[in-house]
Amino acid sequence: MQKIGRRGLLASAAIVAGSGGAHAQRLPSHEQQLYEAAKREGEVTWYSGQLSAESSEAVGKAFGERYPGLRVNVVRSTSQVAFQRLSQDMRAGVAQCDVFSSTDYSHSALLKRQGRLLQFRPENAAGLLPFVKEAADPDNFFHVFYIGVHLIARHKVQVAEADAPRSWTDLTNSRWREKLAVGHPGYSGAIGAWAVLMRKMYGWDYFKALEKNRPQIGRSSIDPVTVLNAGERSVGVAVPSASALLSMSRGNPLELIYPIDGTVVVPSPSCIQKNAPHPNAAKLFMEYATSAEYFQVTRRTFGESLRADVPPPEGAKPLDQVKVITPTPEDIETGVPEVKESWRDTFGV
């Protein structure tokens, strides 16, 4: 598929502004039909707990350029906070969210069991990589267009390459006392998934040893990147590759470390709410988010491409060249609530 750059998207939007339906005629027929219905709704509200704020806003802007007359209301937060917001909406009987995206697989699984999701299969999902399609709900209540790739990052000025940690277990070495930064499983679904895997591999004693090094604990998995950029800590734990690569592209002296005991890869679902106030716009957003155009946008902020027709972001290792570890949906659903409680007991936060 031909790549569409930002300049091309802007040019297309300008043409549409003066030519009415010309743009819609260039859409695939299944998108065009949804677009016509979505234009009557005018907007879609996206609770985004996966991408960074910058990436989420870039997606929203590009969506509006591809489908003139539609606006994406981006509500960005950590995944656990996004789910709390959605839960509050449900308790209040308020329908605000159209599309919900979380790094915690159990959120979509729970919503499905509660009968709160709209069944829909985007046609563009046929072009996703096989393992991504397999991670989606077999009954088409949720789909995957984001995977979190979580690893270690070092501040190159503060930590020499020869001295850098090479595994998750290296981080328990006393040499890293007061030098680590990590997110919190009570706020970040990705950190919850990482913690579940570490517990499965090494037991909770791993975290007791990690606590002795007094890591700086933020909320989002992205927070350690900010802390490293400021020079406050020298090693980021379970940081998302996209955020680290984006920081590196802006001149920050960071380097990714793919742990020898496994890079954590977390498939993260998105779903449409059954009571979505803008159901057609939500369906169109899901079509867009599984298309090549979407991954061309997220690739600019170093998001992983989940389609063969869009290359991986610059600076990232192909996942088939590193050892990958992935939690199962069952691991996450049963394990994340448990590690949240154990984390508070061990770290005191």
Which tens digit of pLDDT belongs to each residue from 18-55? 333 334 448 999 999 999 999 999 999 999 999 989 99
228 and 326 inside one domain: yes
256 and 192 inside one domain: yes
Instruction: Specify the pLDDT at position 229.
Output: 97
129 and 261 inside one domain: no
Is 240 among the domain residues? Answer: yes
With a cut of 60, say whether residue 243 has pLDDT above it.
Answer: yes
**Which domain range does residue 100 map to?**
6-147+267-300
Instruction: Specify the pLDDT at position 12.
Output: 38
Q: What is the mean pLDDT of the chain?
A: 91
- Considering the entire predicted model, what is its pTM? 0.79
Instruction: Specify the pLDDT at position 88.
Output: 97
pLDDT tens readout for residues 297-309: 999 999 999 999 9
Is 163 among the domain residues? Answer: yes
Q: How far apart are CA 274 and CA 295, in angstroms?
A: 26
Instruction: Specify the pLDDT at position 333.
Output: 87
Is 119 among the domain residues? Answer: yes
- pLDDT interval class at 329 (50, 70, 90): confident
249 and 226 inside one domain: yes
Q: How far apart are CA 215 and CA 232, in angstroms?
A: 11
pLDDT tens readout for residues 290-299: 999 999 999 9
120 and 153 inside one domain: no
161: domain CATH number is 3.40.190.10
227 and 249 inside one domain: yes
257 and 280 inside one domain: no
- pLDDT interval class at 276 (50, 70, 90): very high
Instruction: Specify the pLDDT at position 26.
Output: 86
Instruction: Specify the pLDDT at position 202.
Output: 98
288 and 141 inside one domain: yes
Is 138 among the domain residues? Answer: yes
Is 306 among the domain residues? Answer: no
| Overall number of domains in the chain | 2
Find all residues with CB under 8 Å of 208, minimum gap 6, and list them: 346
Instruction: Specify the pLDDT at position 320.
Output: 79
Instruction: Specify the pLDDT at position 62.
Output: 97
207 and 340 inside one domain: yes
Is 312 among the domain residues? Answer: no
The token pair that represents 19 in the structure block: 């030519």
106 and 28 inside one domain: yes
Classify strands 143-155 and 71-76 as parallel, antiparallel or unpaired. unpaired
323 and 341 inside one domain: yes
Is 169 among the domain residues? Answer: yes
- Per-residue exposure over 239-266, b if at least 16 CB sit within 10 Å of its own CB, e if not: bbbbbbbbbbeeebebebbbbeebbbbb
- pLDDT interval class at 319 (50, 70, 90): confident
140 and 221 inside one domain: no
Q: Which residue has the higher pLDDT, 205 or 80?
A: 205
Instruction: Specify the pLDDT at position 131.
Output: 87
Instruction: Specify the pLDDT at position 287.
Output: 98
Is 326 among the domain residues? Answer: yes
Q: If you average pLDDT over residues 204-217, what whole number do you get?
A: 98
